[in-house]
Amino acid sequence: MFIRDYPLSKVTSLGVGGPADLFIQPKSASEVAETQRFAAEHDLPLTIIGYGTNILVRDGGIRGIVMQIADSFAQAKVEGTILTAQAGCLLGSLSKLALLHNLSGLEFAVGIPGGLGGATFMNAGAYGGEIGPLVHSIQFVQNGELGQWSRDEFSFSYRNSRLQNEAHGAIVTRVELELIPSEQQDILQKMDDFQNQRRSKQPLEFPSAGSTFKRPPGHYVGPLIEQAGLKGLRIGGAEVSTKHAGFLIRTGAAKARDFLDLIEKIQETILQEYGVSLEPEIRILGDD
């Protein structure tokens, strides 16, 4: 059931970070509930990850249990305008499934590399679109039991959702998205446009965890970092991308500490020069 001392660098897009004490990949909502109950009964911390595309795991790893909800828990179907998907489904795959059924709303997600569970947790978005407004209902596990929220019970804001604010850790297992019928050619055109923008502006050829910082009110992160002269700055194997300064990339061998030090350097510089506080968009997990 559990794998001991599993190296989390294997399941994160940055490819850095220490081990999980215990690691599991559930295949069903009942296994998610069983794992949550086990953690509570044995007083073990429980950390949920998806495809590891927006997290930075510290070099000391993560204590307790790490549960990865990914491709072992990734089935989806479409009925009318409702796309129902398990939390481990990749956003890009769901975008293409919607396209096949002539449904619009997920075009922005075509190039986002993460899964639906994590995207719902953080209200992921790009190019003016977000997951939150599409949610019709959410199935989750809380206190070892299955529950459900309707659209009216689910709240979201910029890179935030009710899931982040639940005191007793609700874990997404399934999401229903309500989409809009549209012409397939129009949907495909939008998807192609977004993909072309991604390829031209983002450092897809290097390992990264996506946008490192949330966008502060009234500013854009990339231009701020570039104006501060930090583009290309490197600490160890971590570097501010020369293609898009809002991304930190791994160039060869690196430690999580390299990224943490680079993040801190950027935050200090931007605060000192512009009076703007940068808050990480990536989740920083584990121990040093």
Query: Which residues are catalytic, by number?
Result: 159, 211, 281
d(CA 255, CA 285): 14
d(CA 224, CA 35): 43
**CA proximity to 253, closest of 239, 272, 233:** 239
CA angle (57, 60, 64) in 5-degree steps: 80
For residue 83, the number of C-alpha atoms closer than 13 Å in the C-beta half-sphere is 30
Q: How far apart are the first and last CA of the chain?
A: 27
Which H or E element spans position 238? Answer: strand 238-240
Q: Which residues pair with 3 in a beta bridge?
A: 23
Sign of the torsion angle spanned by Cα atoms 63, 67, 70, 71: positive
Q: How many CB atoms lie within 10 A of CB 80?
A: 10
